[in-house]
Amino acid sequence: MSEQHEVSAARTEHHQHRAKRRNGLRGAVSVALVTALAGALFTANARLSHGTNERQAVDLPGLQANEDSRRERLANQVDQLRSEVDALTAQQNAQSGIDWSSAGIAADVAAGQVPVTGEGLVVKLDDADPNGPRPAGVGVDDLVVHQQDLQAVINALWAGGAEAMMLMDQRVISTSAFQCIGNVLSLQGRRYSPAYVVTAVGDPDKLLAALNADPAIRAYKSWVTAVGLGWSVEERSDLSLPAYDGPADLTYASVPEGTEILPGLVAAAAGSGDADQEDSAG
């Protein structure tokens, strides 16, 4: 019995020893596997970042600064390309015999190609004080200037005979488009916070009359009284609007087929060409 007991104890000790070795081996394998995976991740990260001398910002202000710098570089390229387009256009006009410049300064002003100075109005819209008094049922959304409010002002000023217009520090033309996301205005790749400023050159009396007659602006003024939205109109005689410096191509709209871009200009040029042929024939 004692010998059998000793044999049984030896077997038990042997099994326990083998179990410890297996557990130790499993632990070593797990550590090795984790180490290998970590090394692979570090290697992949090093390969991805290899050759990049410029570190990218991970914070929002840094990303915005990078995008602003990129936009400035692209704007400079646009200016260079626009100069090339102007030179090629002048060359084409000379070859075609059509003097497109005869459309006059009014066409250049309407297209925003030239700076404009004169009298007009400066309209400012601003968000209400979120901590100010407000009627019952008024939410946070009612305390900010919305896209439709700016659109109402711009459309009313055009209807009132504005010759040229500017939103914030950018010239507004027929292809200009802006978007309000919350209380942030996005216009031609730039971001603006309130107060929003619309500047229009034209007859101040007619412009003011158009603002007062617009139903959407009257509705906005009712909220000015109710919750304190910002609204001011200033008449100025020394306005100065810069030329438009953005792209003027239509992306989601086109001129209807058969519509003359500059009515009468091509016909007049063609008539002048016929007259020249008749003179040479005589």
pLDDT at 131: 85
Please count the structural domains in the chain: 2
pLDDT bracket for residue 164 (50, 70, 90):
very high
User: In which element (H, E) is residue 201 found?
Assistant: strand 196-201
Report pLDDT digits (tens) over 19-61.
Answer: 555 555 555 556 666 676 666 666 666 665 555 444 444 567 7
Residue 66 forms part of a structural domain: no
Which residues have C-beta within 8 Å of that of residue 131, sequence separation ≥ 6? none
How many Å apart are CA 119 and CA 111, to the nearest integer?
19
Q: Are residues 25 and 134 in the same domain?
A: no
Question: For residue 140, what pLDDT band results from cuts at 50, 70 and 90?
Answer: confident
* Sign of CA pseudo-dihedral 23, 29, 31, 34: negative
Higher pLDDT, 63 or 167: 167
**Domain extent at residue 30:** 1-44
Choice among 20-29, 86-95, 230-239 with the minimum mean pLDDT: 20-29
Largest CA distance in the chain: 145
Sign of CA dihedral 213, 215, 217, 218: positive
Report the CATH number at residue 159: 3.30.70.1880
Residues 121 and 21 grouped into a single domain: no
User: Which tokens is 18 given?
Assistant: 């083998």
237 and 155, same structural domain?
Answer: yes
Measured between alpha carbons, how far apart are the two ends of the chain, in Å?
A: 145
